[in-house]
Chain A
Amino acid sequence: MTRPLISRRAVLASGTAGLAAAGLGLRAPRAFAQSPVSLQLSWLHSVQFAGSYIALQRGWWKEAGLDVSLLQGGPNAPVEPPVVSGAALVGISAADYTAAAVEQGAPFKIIAVAMQKNPFVIASLPDNPVKVPADLEGKKIGMALANTPVLQALCTLNDVDIDKIEVVPTQYSAQPLTSGEVDCLLCWETDLPVAMAIQGIESVTMLMADHGYAVHSQTYIATEDSLANRRGELVALLSGEVRGWEAYREDTDAAAALTVEMFPDAGLDLETQKLQAERQVPLMFSELTDTHGFGWWTDEAVAENIATLALLGRTVTPDLWDRSILEEVHGS
């Protein structure tokens, strides 16, 4: 009696396998002598990953013998499992999510950090602004309840009484702020404030990273097994990323234009992408990366991350971060 279910699954599976095989068949000549690797992105295609698009479009990975597929994320898309199972060589995660996965037994290392500064901000409107954490007291904040530990950490770091803040659970949208339901939002510097600006609404943003919230974001993760056995591919993948992001920094408008052009079906708006591209530069580049190159981090930053992660209930040790691949990339 289990047969029909299995055969239904088998039919579906073989159907997709057939499709996949057809796809591979088409790709095979082009991909000759290239090793196929996948990079699992953490969200929908957007300028958030433009450095990768530049590397892909300019053929830098191909030169290094890699045939890279960029796997899109989404609101209900798993990021860590494809990396664990080996379906993706590298995934884009964040230190807090990586720490959670490691706690569950995933053998991950952070091998590069795209966003040195965490992109979380408190966004508010200019006539009732939140400029420093103390301003939060007495305000209504709209956020996902799941992010309560994040707010708690910010409050602890800045001696703010969280009980004086009213948390209103909202979905991830700027609408509760624009409609006056809440006084401020917990969101990313690079999405909801950008959406509001494009709609003609100026907002004030307080970057949590400027107030002690140190959690590396958009981190590149790989398994210990890959670090031991697929170093060549990891170095080639990351050096393409580094070149891509350095080119991105040269001309963010061009990066935005390329993103819109590469994904015509994603419903991207060029002006939104340009503004987002511009606003993520200060999160990704600093004197540190000018000196050591894109993706770099310091031991002090790791210590700060460990302290903030502890506030979020995550216990990690410095060996979660592994700089050896980056050293090879920048050393060569």
Chain B
Amino acid sequence: MSAAADHGVAPTTARRFTGLLGVVSLVVGWELAARALEGAFILAAPSDVAVWIVQNAGLLGRAFRVTLGNAAAGFVAGNLAAVMLAALALAWPRGERVIAGLALLIFCLPLVATGPILRVLYGPGPGPQITLAALAVYYTTFVPLLVGLRAAPSSWFDLVRSYGRGAMAELVHIRAAAALPYLFAGLQIAAPAAFLGAMVGEFTGAERGMGVLTIRATRALDVDAIWALATVAAAASMAVYAAVGVIARAVLTEPPPVILSPPPMPRTGGARGRAIVLTTAAVLGFALLLWWGAMELFDLNRFFAKRPDDVWAALVTAPDAAETRATLAQALRETSVYLLPGFAAGLALGTGMAVALTLLPAIGAGATAVAVALRSVPIVTTAPLVVLLLGRGAVGTIVLVAVMVFFPTFVACLHGLRQAPGQVIDVLDSYAAGPIARLWHVQLPAMLPAFFAAARMSVPASVLAVTVVEWLATGRGIGSLMALSASLSDYDMLWSSVVIVALLSVAGYAGVGAVERRVLSVYAAEQMTR
């Protein structure tokens, strides 16, 4: 995962001016495009959006407060859970891999399917909204915390021990302080994610909120309202992102870290292979136990709360198991046609842009600020917009996935490129090497860990994007299959989809990790020890 912040050098007047210029030209271009497309019910002009917001200020304000309240509750619950998980991992180091694996698996559960399941569990009320918001945030806080709690020089621990103090003092005086910047980095990206989770939760039958208004506006062909809601949601997400950044700068003595990736597997060779197998088995075992145990504990009805053995039967032993598998495989194939090109394009564009901006630093500042801000725009609001603009074909979906991957990759790579050691650059400079040589020999190797961290976290993010678009817009692939299965009471299919999607996401995440180790060992061996 990668979090980034517009920290570091305070923005100069020139940078502010570039940023302002960027925003103004964006709004003017938007207005002109909307005027040109008038009557097509696609794009609302900023002036119309402003009018709608003013005319519906009361309604919008109430909906916004509801969604924000649920997002905030989920934010707190999810982050508390992350802190507790990280504390447990710290207290029980041998279990850390399993805790991290389980946390990832739960993070990879598709929102499209967890939404209705949570609604059934909670009944009416804000339960699903808050839970989905919590689920959307806990992993992005948990992972940096895991790193942060260890990110202290060992001499500090020696010092505490030399005073005869124990683990508690270590935790309070060293680990907590060392983890704080990492915690803030996690909280910053968690804030917009909570907003997204709360809005998706509202689709499961909430009485009020921004998500409810979005559904209504889409059906009513109220383009002004659709764009107004998207604008407000985007602005709110950017504002909370910035607010956490401001708090972080006020609290922290050093800037928060930008690259947040889980610690690498410590062992090598055969021992590591065995550790991976053991960890995977333990994670799956605990996941099954948790799944089955929770359902038995709450005595959930088997009509919709399918147990692990029901899913096993549906996929393996039932007479129509082959048919079910074929349906799933077909849906996954349809999805991969959108997912893989979008994922690759997002990574390539993000890296390419970051490299281009490093070679041309003049335009870098403004673009970074815009990218950081746009990264926090929630996908449920962008999905209808991109589909309106690009249609329901492959292009619209691929672009959405690419956008979802592009921003984190871009921000992470840009930061990674700047991490290149100054001394090495000085050496190259003294040999009068050009910017290309510098890029190839120094900056790109320095960027790789950041790139891979972004690529790994983009796996669940792109799965989220593609399933949401399939569900809301294109009606194809696994996202649509999940929504359809829920409406047709085919809960065997729904739970099977959930299991497959979560496992594939985790596998994709691990796959990127494997590629990372191979590439780093060849191309940037010095980056292997982090």
Residues of A within 8 A of B (CB): 1-9, 11-12, 15-16, 19-20, 38, 44-45, 69, 71-78, 80-82, 84-85, 87, 97, 100-101, 103-106, 144-146, 168-176, 178-179, 181, 191-192, 195-196, 198-199, 263-269, 272
A78-B116, A82-B120, A145-B476 given; name 5 further pairs at CB < 8 Å. Answer: A2-B286, A5-B290, A8-B80, A8-B84, A44-B212
Decide if B115 is an interface residue (CB 8 Å cutoff).
yes
8 contacts between A and B (CB under 8 A): A38-B124, A76-B200, A77-B203, A178-B221, A179-B42, A191-B219, A195-B222, A267-B59
Report whether A170 and B392 are in contact in the complex, using a CB–CB cutoff of 8 Å: yes
CB contact under 8 A between A2 and B289, given known A7-B84, A8-B77, A84-B303: yes
In the complex, what residue of chain B is closest to A201 when comparing beta carbons?
A: B221
Q: Which residue of B lies closest to A9 (CB)?
A: B294
B contact residues around A269 at 8 Å (CB): 220
Q: Quick check: is B423 within 8 A (CB to CB) of the other chain? A: no
Closest CB of chain B to A187's CB: distance in Å? Answer: 10
Residue B463, interface by CB 8 Å: no
B471 nearest CB neighbor, chain A only: A76
Quote the shortest CB–CB distance from A234 to chain B (angstroms): 20
B277 part of interface (Cβ distance < 8 Å): no
B91 CB to closest chain A CB, in angstroms? 10
Least distance between B51 CB and chain A CB atoms (Å): 16
CB neighbours (8 Å) of A71 from chain B are 123-124, 205
Residues of chain A within 8 A (CB-CB) of B303 are 80-81, 84-85, 104-106
- A1 lies within 8 A of B475 (CB): no
- B490 to A179, Cβ gap below 8 A? no
Which residues in B have their C-beta under 8 angstroms from that of A103? 489
A104 cross-chain contacts in B, Cβ below 8 A: 303, 489-492
CB <8 Å contact, A76 and B59: no
The reply to whether A267 and B63 contact each other, CB–CB distance below 8 Å, is yes
Within the assembled complex, what's the spacing in Å between the Cα atoms of A72 and B488?
18
Distance between B378 CB and nearest chain A CB, rounded to angstroms:
16
Write the nearest CB–CB distance from A17 to chain B, whole angstroms: 9
Instruction: Specify which chain A residues have a CB less than 8 angstroms from the CB of B123 in the assembled complex.
Output: 20, 71, 82, 87
Secondary structure call for the B interface: helix
Which residues of chain B have a CB within 8 Å of any CB of chain A?
Answer: 40-42, 56, 59, 62-63, 66, 77, 80-81, 84-85, 88, 92, 95, 98-99, 102, 106, 112, 115-116, 119-120, 122-127, 130-131, 134, 200, 202-208, 212-213, 215-222, 225, 286, 289-290, 293-294, 300-301, 303-304, 384, 387-388, 391-392, 471-476, 480, 483-484, 486-492
Which of A9, A74, A97, A196 has the most chain B CB atoms inside 10 A of its CB?
A74
Separation in Å of the A49 CB from the closest CB of chain B?
13
**In contact, A144 and B59 (Cβ under 8 angstroms):** no
Cα–Cα, bound, A263→B102 (Å):
41
Q: Give Cα distance in the complex from A239 to B102, angstroms.
A: 51
**Is the beta-carbon distance between A16 and B125 smaller than 8 angstroms?**
yes
Contacts of A44 in B (CB 8 A): 212, 215-216
Q: In angstroms, how far is the closest chain B Cβ from the Cβ of A205?
A: 16
A73 and B124 alpha carbons, distance in the complex (Å): 10
A198 to B217, CA, bound (A): 13
